[in-house]
């Protein structure tokens, strides 16, 4: 039907897209970038999904003048300052900054995307001077991927080439940042996806939503939702190729892989865990339980300590206010049955096996409520000393 090839150098592969990243002085360490752009030489259809936080940051308010589905060709991205809770002035700052883009690139409906600390105006001068240093004809995907990071420890950059059975192909690529997933003070989840596939305008939003619902919307590092979370999908159609099924598959592969990279790089995270709840009364109840498991402090600290203490799993499910019954519940770590009513007590042998599973970099906790057919999988990470260290440290 179609073939998926993984390519290096992320955005650089995609026809018609240009990008770069530099340090413009927002970060004291000149080695770290803090300003990046992504542009297309052909007008794109852009679909955007934004945070549900009621206090949306200025860049989101500014971009929303074009709606969540619009035509455009340019995004400017800065790290270190979220431009959130800055009122009307925050929006005026964006307009002024964007007015300094060079005429030659013919930016249409240009927008900004920001990440960093809340409550400070942008350093307009630094960013405007930085614009002069950006190479608008470069394809420096690595530099762009690095410049959008905050407390992330590695860059998140992916590209797939999708080859259809008629031999024609299109490409899709993305860069993302996470760290505190949704940490309003030092990090924010941002993702920029570009493609040269000829995605129809009437489908693009729904495709993005489906992929994000199954990936970014199922992960949690700390359960907080920031003022700046955004996912953009820019499609310039330059390949002239499109096949819905293949495109959606590639888009989902891309977002799911990025989501797992974000979790792996969650602040202080040492392991990634899938919380699969099955046999719930319905999907909604399974979702509530799975999300509560991924956010429970007691579960997260037990994961860090590799403590096969299934009592915390059971207690979190019981506290979720969903239909459940201790006589029916079964808890598995990967394929190891760790609790059922017939075997409530952990034997030393089982405890050792469970301990080994929990020491892996990633594993699955599966809870079968044996009540109905509802299921949901959420993804989380452990809570370590480093999470506290990263987040308790003074900003300056």
Closest CA to 11 of 200, 191, 260, 169: 191
188 assigned to active site: yes
Residues of this chain that interact with a copy of itself (CB under 8 A) are 52-56, 82, 84-87, 117-121, 180, 183-185, 222-227, 296-298, 301-302, 304-307, 309-312, 314-324, 326-327, 339, 341, 344-346, 383-385, 387-389, 391-395
Q: What is the distance between the alpha carbons of residues 81 and 249, in angstroms, rounded to a whole number?
A: 34
Q: Are 219 and 377 in contact (CB under 8 A)?
A: no
* Nearer to a copy of itself among residue 212 and residue 254 (C-beta): 212
Nearest 5°: phi and psi at 204? -60, -40
* Nearer to a copy of itself among residue 5 and residue 297 (C-beta): 297
* Nearer to a copy of itself among residue 327 and residue 335 (C-beta): 327
Q: What is the distance between the alpha carbons of residues 310 and 345, in angstroms, rounded to a whole number?
A: 10
* Nearer to a copy of itself among residue 225 and residue 282 (C-beta): 225
Q: Are 34 and 81 in contact (CB under 8 A)?
A: no
- Looking at the DSSP assignment, which residues form a beta bridge with residue 75? 38, 111
Residues 6 or more apart whose Cβ sits within 8 Å of residue 305: none
Name the minimum Å distance from CB 270 to a copy of itself: 11
Nearest 5°: phi and psi at 360? -70, 160
Name the minimum Å distance from CB 12 to a copy of itself: 34
Active-site option among 188, 195, 227, 255: 188
- Looking at the DSSP assignment, which residues form a beta bridge with residue 220? 380
| Strand 69-78 with 219-220, pairing | unpaired
Name the minimum Å distance from CB 342 to a copy of itself: 9
Rounded to the nearest 5 degrees, what angle is found at the Cα of 258, between the Cα atoms of 272 and 199?
150
Name the minimum Å distance from CB 374 to a copy of itself: 16
The total of other beta-carbon atoms located within 10 Å of residue 133's CB is 11
Closest CA to 33 of 180, 135, 184: 135
* Nearer to a copy of itself among residue 84 and residue 258 (C-beta): 84
* Nearer to a copy of itself among residue 20 and residue 382 (C-beta): 382
Closest CA to 390 of 115, 84, 180, 190: 180
- Looking at the DSSP assignment, which residues form a beta bridge with residue 40? 17
Name the minimum Å distance from CB 213 to a copy of itself: 18
Name the minimum Å distance from CB 98 to a copy of itself: 22
State the catalytic residues: 188
């Amino acid at each position: 039907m179609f073939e998926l090839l993984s390519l290096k150098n992320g955005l650089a592969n995609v026809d018609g897209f240009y990008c770069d990243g530099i340090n413009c002085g927002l970060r004291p360490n000149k080695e770290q970038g803090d300003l990046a752009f992504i542009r297309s030489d052909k007008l794109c259809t852009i679909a955007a999904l934004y945070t549900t936080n009621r206090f949306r940051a200025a860049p989101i308010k500014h971009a929303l003048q074009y709606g969540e589905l619009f035509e455009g060709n340019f995004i400017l991205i800065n790290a270190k300052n979220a431009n959130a809770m800055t009122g009307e002035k925050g929006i005026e700052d964006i307009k002024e900054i964007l007015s300094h883009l060079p005429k030659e690139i013919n930016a249409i409906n240009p927008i900004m995307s920001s990440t960093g600390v809340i409550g400070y105006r942008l350093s307009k001068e630094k960013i405007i001077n930085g614009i002069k240093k950006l190479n608008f004809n470069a394809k420096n995907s690595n530099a762009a991927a690095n410049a959008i990071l905050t407390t992330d420890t590695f860059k998140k950059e992916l590209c797939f080439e999708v080859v259809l059975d008629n031999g024609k192909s299109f490409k899709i690529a993305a860069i993302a940042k996470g760290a505190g997933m949704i940490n309003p003070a030092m990090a924010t989840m941002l993702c920029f996806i570009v493609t040269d596939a000829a995605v129809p305008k009437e489908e693009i939003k729904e495709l993005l939503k489906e992929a994000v619902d199954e990936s970014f919307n199922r992960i949690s590092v700390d359960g907080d939702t920031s003022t700046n979370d955004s996912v953009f999908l820019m499609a310039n159609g330059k390949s002239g190729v499109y096949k819905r099924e293949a495109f959606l598959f590639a888009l989902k592969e891309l977002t799911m892989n990025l989501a797992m990279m974000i979790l792996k790089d969650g602040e202080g995270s040492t392991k990634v865990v899938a919380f699969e709840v099955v046999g719930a009364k319905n999907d909604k109840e399974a979702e509530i339980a799975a999300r509560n498991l991924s956010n429970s402090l007691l579960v997260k600290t037990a994961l860090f300590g590799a403590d096969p203490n299934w009592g915390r799993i059971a207690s979190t499910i019981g506290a979720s206010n969903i239909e459940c019954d201790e006589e029916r519940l079964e808890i598995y770590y990967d394929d190891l049955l760790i609790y059922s009513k017939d075997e409530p007590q952990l034997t030393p042998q089982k405890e050792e096996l469970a301990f080994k599973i929990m020491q892996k970099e990633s594993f699955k906790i599966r809870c079968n409520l044996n009540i109905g057919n509802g299921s949901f999988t959420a993804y989380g990470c452990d809570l370590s000393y480093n999470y506290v260290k990263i987040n308790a440290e003074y900003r300056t």
